[in-house]
Amino acid sequence: MNATLPMPSLRRSAAALAAFALSAGALAADPVKVGLALDISGPFATGGAEARDGINLAVKLLGNKLGGQPAEFLQADTAGSPDQAKQVVDRFIQRDKIDFFTGPTPSNVALAVGPTLFAAKVPFITSNPGPSQYAGAQCNPYFFGSAYQNDTWDEAAGKYATEKGFKSAVLIAPNYPAGRDHLTGFKRRFTGNVAGEIYSKVGQLDYAAELAQMRAAKPEAVFFFLPGAMGINFIKQFVASGLSKDITLVTTPASADEDTIAAVGEPMLGLFSTSQWSHDLPNAANEKFVAEFRRAYKRYPTFYAAQAYDVIMALDAAVRDVGGKVQDKPAVLKALKAARFDSVRGPFKYGNNNFPVQDYYLRVIGKNGEGKITNRTLSTPLKAYRDAYFEQCPLKS
């Protein structure tokens, strides 16, 4: 339009004015921007794909809006790499000016991108990882551990293993922050003998050496936290090496949900796991979510999908409660913490460290009425349970 102006300097200032006017005009109608850093490839890709499907379903059900406001969802792949995730987050903050952030599957990525987001005052509502660091001394008002704190799944599993009377157990997890948290959680509640504690490489897929150690240690149970493809291979190789005859496997949903069942099949029967969510939990929000998910994707959802769906629903409620004024950060944080939405896990509330106080369920894999191999909820080993780190968090209430 102003290309016909003769003087270069005049042209430049006119362009600058036009740009300013445009941005000021855009500010009023700006959509709420949510940055999604997903694991579409890499070692956590199975969880990342599920989270993406859960998010897409929630966005579709909300009609591409959050709290009645138009919303924009920016997706990027981190490939499970903290470095790549940091670049994604820098771009989200500086270029896209996001209002909310969620998406990474692993804890090391959450820990890597957290400080940048907190400094930019962008609320980070995690759709999966709940590293102990953010639950304790490094807790932050801009971080919401909306799903679970890493240790808690395993505290429920440890309690179950103790009650079941297992006298000894070998534990295995990948050597990264969440791996440490999960095994620490199990040991906190397991009173039997820990006959071995193995930390394998992140993304390791061949467990021959570790399985030989387990054979030699002869424990009654093996507790493993190996998310994604790691767990799929571990279970297959565990069964192929003949260990399943004498040793009971106990795990978390990270290796006992629909993604793993689809890849492993029959050898999963009889596997025990503990989780804050299961697809058969009888509450209205969950029944709606599972039915819609099955209709959209022709399969049962995993906890990754459920948690990611929940995050979008939590954002929807928060944006609604602040009347769309997402720039008012204190109000946004208050609304997020109040969490006035129906979670698919059932009712929960946030503790002082922004981590949930909630129930944890014991599930076993069997065949359901339709002959499909899937999880069934058995009992509630931990009720209204709080993570072990909240006292180290300086945040009040």
Partner 1 sequence: MTATLLIEQLLNGLGYGLMLFLLAAGLTLVFGIMDVMNLAHGSLFMGGAYVAAEVHTHNGSFVAAVGVAIAVVVMVALLLEVFLVRRLYGRDHLSQVLATFGLILIADDLVKMIWGPSPVMASAPAALAGPVELLSGLFYPAYRIVLLAAGVAVALGLYLLVNRTRIGMVVRAGASNRAMAEFMGVRVGRVFSLVFLLGAALAALAGALMGPITAVQIGMGEDILIPSLVVLVIGGIGSIRGALVAALLVGLVDTIGRAFVPMALATALPPTVVSDLAPAIAGLATYALMAGVLVFKPAGLFPARG
Q: How far is the CB of 251 from partner 1 (least distance, A)?
A: 17
Q: How far is the CB of 246 from partner 1 (least distance, A)?
A: 10
Contact criterion met (CB below 8 Å) for 255 and 231 = yes
Q: Where are the alpha helices (H) located in 197-283, listed in sequence order?
A: 208-217, 229-240, 258-264
Measured from the CB atom, the residue of 85 and 229 that comes closer to partner 1 is 229
Q: How far is the CB of 378 from partner 1 (least distance, A)?
A: 28
Q: How far is the CB of 318 from partner 1 (least distance, A)?
A: 31
Q: How far is the CB of 344 from partner 1 (least distance, A)?
A: 24
Contact residues toward partner 1 (CB under 8 A) are: 40-42, 45-46, 49, 77, 175, 180, 197-201, 205-206, 208-210, 212-213, 215-216, 229, 232-233, 236-237, 239-243, 263
Rg (CA), the chain: 23
Measured from the CB atom, the residue of 43 and 130 that comes closer to partner 1 is 43
Q: How far is the CB of 174 from partner 1 (least distance, A)?
A: 9
User: What is the amino acid identity at position 262?
Assistant: A
Token pair recorded at residue 265: 């099949």
Token pair recorded at residue 308: 């990611």
Strand arrangement of the beta sheet that strand 100-102 belongs to: 65-66, 69-77, 32-38, 100-102, 124-125, 143-144
Contact criterion met (CB below 8 Å) for 269 and 275 = no
Measured from the CB atom, the residue of 84 and 276 that comes closer to partner 1 is 84
Alpha-carbon distance 40 to 313, whole Å?
A: 22
Measured from the CB atom, the residue of 40 and 357 that comes closer to partner 1 is 40
Q: Kindly report the backbone phi and psi dihedral angles of residue 64, in degrees, each rounded to the nearest multiple of 5, phi listed first.
A: 60, 25
Measured from the CB atom, the residue of 44 and 124 that comes closer to partner 1 is 44
Measured from the CB atom, the residue of 238 and 277 that comes closer to partner 1 is 238
Q: How many helices (H) and strands (E) does the chain have?
A: 13, 14
What is each CA distance from 70 to 23, 31, 63, 65, 373, in whole angstroms? 17, 5, 9, 5, 40
The answer for residues whose C-beta is within 8 angstroms of residue 293's C-beta and 6 or more apart is: 53, 54, 57, 299, 300, 301, 305, 309
DSSP classification of residue 3: G
Alpha-carbon distance 364 to 374, whole Å?
A: 8
Q: How far is the CB of 106 from partner 1 (least distance, A)?
A: 15
Measured from the CB atom, the residue of 190 and 385 that comes closer to partner 1 is 190
DSSP H or E stretch at residue 196? strand 193-200
Length of the chain: 397
DSSP code per residue over 296-330: HHSS---HHHHHHHHHHHHHHHHHHHTTT-TT-HH
Neighbours of 89 (CB within 10 A): 28
Measured from the CB atom, the residue of 213 and 380 that comes closer to partner 1 is 213
Q: How far is the CB of 100 from partner 1 (least distance, A)?
A: 25
Q: How far is the CB of 137 from partner 1 (least distance, A)?
A: 18
Measured from the CB atom, the residue of 260 and 286 that comes closer to partner 1 is 260
